Amino acid sequence: MLTGTLPPDEKSLRMHPIKLHYDEEQLPREFDARSKWDHISKIRDQGWCGASWAFSTLSIAQDRLAIASDGKEVVELSPQNLLSCNRRGQQACNGGHVERAWNYLRKIGVVPEDAIPTQVATQFPMNRKELYTTEPAYRIASKEGDIMWELMTNGPVQGKFIFKII
């Protein structure tokens, strides 16, 4: 199950990558995002829950928010909110689609971790004031330079391996 990330659906596979314009000669041989941005989030433990689809999506979203705001908006988003509420085609700790997680985050949003701590939650506070949303997800080409440029310019990226049985 790739730690909980399910294969992309046909619509996602047909998504055309955006065009990035950069000079490949300007790409450094090494780059550490933690050196450029000191507010990059720490790796979180998803335990035995197969929910990399939720944890990775929110980690990238909160890092990019912190980067875009120049460190003025640093928040830890609640994977439990996404696991418990994003049910359309998702299987919580038994796997999910990153594309659907991004779509949920764009259309509905999630609360900070302190509002719904990560655990098996049974009920949520009804007076949520803060919902964090994002712009639509986009795809970049699988070229190494494109991934490097995106990472250096906008922050962490989410990658998936697609295996095909021949």
CB of 100 closer than 8 Å to CB of 129: no
pLDDT by residue for the chain (166 residues), tens only, comes to: 457 888 877 877 788 888 999 999 999 999 999 899 988 888 888 888 899 999 999 999 999 999 999 999 999 999 999 999 988 889 999 999 999 999 999 999 999 998 888 764 444 544 556 889 988 888 888 789 999 999 999 999 988 766 666 7
Residue with tokens 């939650």: 121
The predicted model scores a pTM of: 0.83
Q: Which residues of 47-75 are buried (b: 16+ CB within 10 A; e: fewer)?
A: eebbbbbbbbbbbbbbbbbbbeeeeeeeb
Q: For residue 39, give every residue at least 6 positions away whose Cβ sits within 8 Å of its Cβ, in sequence order, or none.
A: 63, 66, 67, 71, 74
Q: Which domains does the chain have, with CATH numbers?
A: 2-7+45-154 (3.90.70.10)
Residue with tokens 């689809």: 53
